[in-house]
Amino acid sequence: MQPETAAKVKYGVWERDIMQCDDRRFKAMVRGDVTALRMTLSDHLTYTHTSGVHDTKAQFLGSLTLGQLSYKSIIPEARSVHVYGGTGIVTGTARMEITARGQDARFRIRYLAVYVQAQARWQLVAWQSTRVPDTSAESPEDSGPPPTPEYLGPSRRARG
């Protein structure tokens, strides 16, 4: 096999693996499976919510454990994966249904997820998401208030 062909095959396998990792992470978030998330999330995680709140791995897992944040559903709509060396970039859109500090909200997001190979597996090292308007005629308008930084406490507000 030519080196160029071998690289395409390897990257194709990695793209599939990263997409499966993204799916498993979303499912673990909905289940509130902190044990699975510990394995999927890098210790160096930078997680930026649609509200602008930034979390470390410990902060994100803590908000799930304490019930400050729960994911009712995460439905990916469109995604693409590109591999650059040992880094995988996922861009996509998804429908989210969450409860943050007792307030329910449904909305669509556009996101960027960065995965790196570590400890013989792909791990999420960065997440950035932005709310987008719902353009589907079949779906109700975004409902519920937008998640606010307060749901994670005043010491965790995004700094500009």
> pLDDT tens-digit profile of 79-127?
999 999 889 999 999 999 999 989 999 999 999 999 999 888 999 999 9
108: containing domain: 3-132
Percentage of the chain exceeding pLDDT 90 = 70
Q: Flag whether 7 is in a domain.
A: yes
Residue 135 confidence class, pLDDT cut points 50, 70, 90: low
Q: Flag whether 151 is in a domain.
A: no
Q: Can you give the pLDDT at residue 100?
A: 92
Q: Can you give the pLDDT at residue 101?
A: 87
Residue 78 in tokens:
């469109």
Mean of pLDDT over the chain: 84
Q: Can you give the pLDDT at residue 119?
A: 81
Q: Which residue has the higher pLDDT, 114 or 155?
A: 114
Q: Can you give the pLDDT at residue 140?
A: 45
Alpha-carbon radius of gyration of the chain: 16
Q: Flag whether 155 is in a domain.
A: no
CATH number, residue 44: 3.10.450.50
Exposure pattern of 33-68 as b/e (b: 16+ CB <10 Å)? beeebeebbbeebbbbbbbebbbebebbbbbbeeeb
Q: Flag whether 138 is in a domain.
A: no
Q: Flag whether 31 is in a domain.
A: yes
Counting the structural domains of the chain, the total is 1
Q: Kindly tell me if the per-residue pLDDT of 6 is higher than 80.
A: no
The whole-number average pLDDT for the span 31-54 is 96
Q: Flag whether 45 is in a domain.
A: yes
Q: Flag whether 144 is in a domain.
A: no
State the first-to-last Cα distance of the chain, in angstroms, to the nearest integer. Answer: 51
Q: Flag whether 141 is in a domain.
A: no
